[in-house]
Amino acid sequence: MSWLFLLLASLAWVLFDFCRKRLVENNSPLLVSFVFSLFTLPVYLVFWLATASSQLPQVMVYYVFASLSGLLAALGAVSFISALGRGRFSILLPMLALTPLIAALLNAVVFSNILSWQAYTIISICAYATYRLLGEGFAITEPGAGFMLLAAFSWAGCICLDQFVLPHTSVSFHALWVNVIMVLVLFCSLVTRRKSALLPKGRKIYWAIGLCGFAAAVLLQFSALRYLDASIVEAVKRAIGIVAAMIVGSVFLREKLKPYQYLYGVIIIFSVLIFSFVTE
């Protein structure tokens, strides 16, 4: 069942990413992040109250690390949408393949979960392939690459913290708490940057589908994290995301890729899949 949760979460994330790519054409990244976080709060609240596990966590360490996770999630969301507003969907999304690899390194440094030499070899291969995917020769030429790298680091830290605190609470409450922190952080950012505080624009269908995809993706991913390692969850999710990004970018967004970019995309896909087996 955990792998089914992971598969469905991966597909929901792809749907959500596509909607965000469309919406950032007419809205600021900060506003898009805030609206999605705000309007999914009632979903998480109802889900938490409807479950039998509506008890609050009893340990203070949960609130500290879960709040930090929410802060990193907000930073990652704004960085991710900022990147999509500048560069190509089919090129930038594969950069998130670095997330499970960064998560593995963070787990080793912070939580002393040391991996095998094979795992670190795959991390090096994937990092190199991602670097080459972003430009010609050895120069990174894709706009938005810096923002996407910041998103990868933010979400890697976020998922490590999620895995650490989930034993102390229910999936439903953790989704609610993290989203509350995101809303507070994004709202404060909007207030300090009043030019960004405009009414949402764009087709309503993208807002509606995006909200459904976001809520489903978060709940399903947290459910998968109860049974699978954070690096495995991120590896499988990103592999599916890369395939979908290249298809969506080519078919729906009319983005043109060069043959070598497809090659490095395939290398990244196989790297993260092999990584999930090596670290299992």
Residue 26 has pLDDT above 90, yes or no: no
Q: What average pLDDT does range 17-27 have in this prediction? A: 84
Give the whole-angstrom CA distance, residue 219 versus residue 227.
Answer: 14
| Structure token digits, residue 195 | 């030019």
The vertex-132 CA angle with 247 and 146, nearest 5°, equals 85
Q: What is the model's pLDDT at position 3?
A: 78
Question: For residue 6, what pLDDT band results from cuts at 50, 70 and 90?
Answer: confident
How far apart CA 163 and CA 8 sit, in angstroms, is: 19
Distance CA 61, CA 64 (A): 5
Q: Is the pLDDT of residue 135 over 70?
A: no
Residue scoring higher pLDDT (193 or 217) = 217
Say if residue 226's pLDDT is above 80: no
- Is this prediction's pTM over 0.85? no
d(CA 218, CA 30): 19
pLDDT higher at 55 or 32: 32
CA neighbours closer than 13 Å in the CB half-sphere of residue 130: 28
Tell me: pLDDT of 154 over 90.
Answer: yes
Q: Which helix (H) or strand (E) holds 168?
A: none
Q: Is the pLDDT of residue 37 over 60?
A: yes
CA distance 216 to 56: 22
| 31 CB-side CA count, 13 A | 18
Cα distance between residue 135 and residue 88, in whole Å: 12
**Band of pLDDT at residue 140, cut at 50, 70 and 90:** low
Tens-digit pLDDT profile for residues 86-113: 877 777 777 777 787 788 788 788 777 6
Range of the structural domain that residue 208 is part of: 2-278
| pLDDT greater at residue 41 or residue 53 | 41
- Count the Cβ atoms, other than its own, within 10 Å of residue 41: 16
> Mean pLDDT across the chain, nearest whole number?
81
Give me the pLDDT at residue 227, please.
80
* AA letter at 269: I
DSSP 114: P
Helix residue spans in 24-88 (DSSP H): 29-50, 60-84
Cα-Cα-Cα-Cα dihedral sign, residues 25, 27, 33, 39:
negative
Give the mean pLDDT of 161-174. 87
Average pLDDT (209-231) is 83
- 170 vs 243, residue with greater confidence: 170
Least confident of 90-104, 122-136, 203-217, 258-272: 122-136
Q: How many domains does the chain have?
A: 1
pLDDT of residue 70: 94
Examine the pLDDT at 66 and tell me if it is beyond 90.
yes
Which of helix, strand or coil describes residue 181?
Answer: helix
State residue 158's pLDDT score: 92
- Give me 54's structure tokens: 């509506």
| pLDDT score at 64 | 94
Evaluate the CA torsion angle 1, 17, 33, 135 in order and state its sign: positive
Distance CA 202, CA 210 (A): 12
Q: What is the mean pLDDT of residues 190-195?
A: 72
Tell whether the model's pLDDT for residue 197 goes beyond 60. no
